[in-house]
Structure 1
Amino acid sequence: MQTASTNICERMGRSQELSDSKRGPVIGRLLCNKSIRAISWLLNIPRSTVSGIITK
Structure 2
Amino acid sequence: MRQTIESRQAELNAARLRMLNKKQEAGDRRQEAGDRRREAGGRGRWTEIA
Global fold match (TM > 0.5): no
Shorter-normalised TM-score: what interval? Answer: 0.3 to 0.5
Higher relative contact order (CA 8 A, sep 6+): 1
Q: Over alpha carbons, which structure has the higher Rg?
A: 2
* Higher fraction of helix: 2
- TM-score, normalised with respect to structure 2: 0.33
- TM-score, normalised with respect to structure 1: 0.31
